[in-house]
């Protein structure tokens, strides 16, 4: 696929900003990649539309083709979409005993994941965990969980033949409270397909167990069906998160994007094998890379961006060492400071500037002041910025007025510029500038 894309990218013209044609051409290939990764069609379509709006007009990093730039933008958007506000690994399990309800279709990996999760909570968080199988459909299902419980050293609710799922849920709740457990994980039965009977049963169990977390377990190889499964379970039962299993296989995990897009619920964990320790916290960038399958291009663009930043910094440093520190440079520094949390934070990081940091504090440097100073520099002509010594009193008045400020403020700015230029020169001679710049980057 990357080869195919390479062809498209070569044909794309190189220019400073992404044109609509560039974006459309590259996104055609991205669309194929998403569908090959089993992202559901409507989700892929929506996603592409969103990226198209975002990417058109975006800047192209030097030495990168527009097509490659689009892929990077797609990747970042994919990561952003897959990443929720919440920490995927941190389940809401305070105020014991807390119930976690595992739901999903048959064979999706619910029972296996129940044991994996129990082991994880016990080993990593020191929780006392109880597992209960509510699967009354398959005679072997309860035994399966009991065997896994012994393997991972987690208690299972004793099996009582002939009880319904809601009855078992009630017994599990009592047992969890009496036994002093922190967490009780309820493993439910699944069907091959979503049906009313399954949903009714899960709802009844939910009403008894009042789970804090309801995790939908979905096979990572699920294709177009992922949207239906997620919509149904979220609509009828209300899920709080998703576990994607069998991600150790060939599946590209497009189901993750589909389900996140339609439910807005976080992907919590990823199953990566049959063993009880094969459960990982969901990592958006990894799964995004897998869905898109263009990791090499993303890495290339990231590298180019990094290289460019280093080049710019080095060029700036060379000029500073020669004592070339004009108003444009100062403006750049002021803007950088704004980005990095103001003057004090900045100065404190630069060796030899501790004193200035204190002075800055006394002088009341803050973001507002930085913005005023930037406005002053913007009112200067190109020549004046390059050589502020040219400034006559009358021009100073005009510039200050142009920025809506007093002349004193401009004078303070000019004085600061002189001091900084001197300092840059001195630091440059001592070879300390490099160090100082390093701290700033
Ligand atoms: P349930 O019907 O939803 O309870 O599914 P099970 O937990 O019984 O799992 C069905 C099959 O999938 C079993 O053979 C599991 O070992 C297997 N399985 C579950 N999770 C994973 C996984 O993450 N990777 C692999 N390779 N197999 C898994
Ligand atoms: Mg099962």
For residues 190 and 103, give the distance between their C-alpha atoms in angstroms, rounded to a whole number: 7
Nearest CA to 234 out of 193, 262, 269 is that of 262
Residue 239 has pLDDT above 70, yes or no: yes
Report yes or no on whether pTM surpasses 0.90: no
CB neighbourhood size of 34 (10 A): 27
- C-alpha of 67 from chain center: 23
Examine the pLDDT at 6 and tell me if it is beyond 60: no
Per-residue pLDDT for 237 more than 50?
Answer: yes
* Cα 365 from Cα 360, distance rounded (Å): 5
Residue 101 CA, ligand 2 centroid: distance in Å:
13
Of 100, 83, 297, nearest to 216 (Cα)?
100
Flag whether pLDDT at 394 surpasses 50. yes
pLDDT band with cut points at 50, 70 and 90 for residue 295 = confident
CA distance 132 to 186: 5
Q: What is the pLDDT of residue 131?
A: 98
How many Å lie between the centroid of ligand 1 and the Cα of residue 188? 14
Q: Is the pLDDT of residue 7 over 50?
A: no
What does the pLDDT look like over 428-441, one tens digit per residue? Answer: 776 666 665 555 54
β-pair type (183-187, 98-103): parallel
pLDDT of residue 355: 56
Pairing of strands 183-187, 155-156: unpaired
Write the pLDDT tens digit of every residue in 330-387.
Answer: 888 788 777 765 555 555 555 555 555 555 555 556 678 888 899 999 999 989 998 8
- Domains of the chain and any CATH numbers: 2-85+294-299 (1.20.120.140), 98-282 (3.40.50.300), 322-440 (1.10.260.30)
Which ligand has the shortest distance to the CA of 217?
1
How confident is the model at residue 8, as a pLDDT? 46
Atom from ligand 1 closest to the CA of residue 135: 4
> What residues are designated binding site for GTP?
104-111, 187-191, 245-248
Cα dist. 95→88, 197, 211, 212, 213 in Å?
19, 32, 12, 10, 13
DSSP assignment of 210-278? --SEEEEEEETT--THHHHHHHHHHHHT--SEEEEE-TTSS---HHHHHHHHHH-PPEEEEE-SSSTT-
Residue 363, token pair as written in the block:
């002088």
**Annotated binding-site members:** 104-111, 187-191, 245-248
pLDDT of 138 > 90? The answer is no
Buried b (16+ CB within 10 A) or exposed e, 230-255: bebbbebbebbbbbbbbbeeebbbbb
Cα 246 to Cα 7, 109, 139: the distances in Å are: 33, 8, 24
Peptide bond into 97 cis (omega under 30): yes
C-beta 272 within 6 A of ligand 1: yes
User: Which percentage of the chain shows pLDDT scores above 90?
Assistant: 54
DSSP single-letter state for residue 38: T
Average pLDDT over residues 308-331: 81
Ligand nearest to the CA of 110: 1
Angle between helices 367-378 and 342-349 (to 10 degrees): 90
Mean pLDDT across the stretch 193-210? Answer: 92
* Residue 143 Cβ contacting ligand 1 at under 6 Å: no
Ligand 2 centroid, distance to 207 Cα (angstroms)? 21
Collapsing DSSP to helix, strand or coil, 329 comes out as helix
**Residues 3-10: contacts with CB under 8 Å, at least 24 apart:** 4/29, 5/29, 5/67, 5/71, 5/294, 5/297, 8/67, 9/65, 9/66, 9/67, 9/68, 10/65
17: nearest Cα among 46, 45, 48, 59: 59
String of DSSP letters for 191-210 = -SS--HHHHHHHHHHHHHH-
Pocket lining: 273 vs ligand 1, CB cutoff 6 Å: yes
Ligand nearest to the CA of 148: 1
**Over the range 154-179, which residues count as b (16 or more CB within 10 Å of their CB) and which as e?**
bbbbeeeeeeebbbbbebbbebbeee
CA 190–ligand 2 middle distance (angstroms): 7
CB distance 107 to ligand 1 below 6 Å: yes
Q: List the beta strands (DSSP E) in 22-151.
A: 98-103, 129-133
């Amino acid at each position: 696929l990357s080869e195919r894309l390479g062809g498209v990218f070569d044909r794309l013209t190189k220019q400073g900003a992404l044109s609509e044609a560039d974006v459309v051409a590259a996104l055609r290939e991205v669309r194929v990649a998403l569908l090959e990764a089993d992202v559901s069609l409507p989700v892929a379509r929506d996603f592409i539309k969103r990226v198209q709006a975002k990417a058109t007009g975006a800047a192209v990093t030097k030495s990168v083709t527009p097509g490659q730039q689009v892929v990077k933008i797609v990747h970042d958007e994919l990561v952003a979409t897959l990443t929720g506000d919440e920490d995927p690994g941190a389940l809401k399990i305070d105020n014991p005993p807390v119930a976690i309800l595992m739901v999903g279709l048959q064979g999706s990996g619910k029972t296996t994941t129940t044991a994996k999760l129990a082991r994880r909570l016990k080993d990593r968080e020191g929780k006392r965990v109880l597992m209960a199988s509510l699967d009354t459909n398959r005679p072997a299902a309860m035994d399966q969980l009991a065997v896994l419980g012994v393997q991972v050293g987690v208690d299972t609710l004793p099996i009582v033949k002939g009880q319904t799922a809601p009855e078992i849920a009630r017994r599990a709740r009592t047992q969890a409270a009496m036994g002093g457990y922190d967490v009780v994980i309820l493993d439910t039965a699944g069907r091959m397909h979503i049906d009313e009977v399954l949903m009714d049963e899960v709802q009844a169990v939910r009403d008894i167990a009042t789970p804090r977390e309801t995790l939908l377990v979905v096979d990572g190889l699920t294709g177009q069906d992922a949207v239906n499964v997620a919509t149904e379970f979220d609509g009828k039962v209300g899920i709080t998160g998703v576990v994607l299993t069998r991600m150790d296989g060939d599946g590209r995990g497009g189901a993750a994007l589909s389900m996140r897009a339609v439910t807005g619920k976080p992907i919590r964990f990823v199953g990566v094998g049959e063993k009880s320790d094969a459960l990982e916290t969901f990592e958006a960038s990894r799964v995004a890379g897998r869905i898109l399958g263009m990791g090499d291009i993303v890495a290339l663009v990231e590298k180019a961006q990094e290289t460019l930043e280093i080049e710019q910094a080095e060029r700036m440093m060379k000029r500073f060492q020669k004592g070339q520190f004009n108003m444009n440079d100062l403006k750049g520094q002021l803007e950088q400071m704004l980005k990095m949390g103001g003057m004090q934070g900045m100065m404190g990081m630069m060796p030899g500037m501790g004193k200035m940091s204190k002075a800055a504090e006394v002088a009341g440097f803050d973001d507002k002041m930085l913005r005023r100073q930037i406005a002053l520099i913007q009112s200067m002509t190109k020549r004046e910025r390059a050589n502020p010594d040219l400034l006559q009193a009358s021009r100073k008045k005009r510039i200050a007025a142009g920025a809506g400020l007093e002349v004193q403020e401009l004078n303070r700015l000019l004085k600061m510029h002189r001091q900084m230029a001197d300092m840059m020169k001195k630091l440059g001679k001592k070879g300390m500038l490099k160090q100082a710049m390093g701290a700033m980057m």
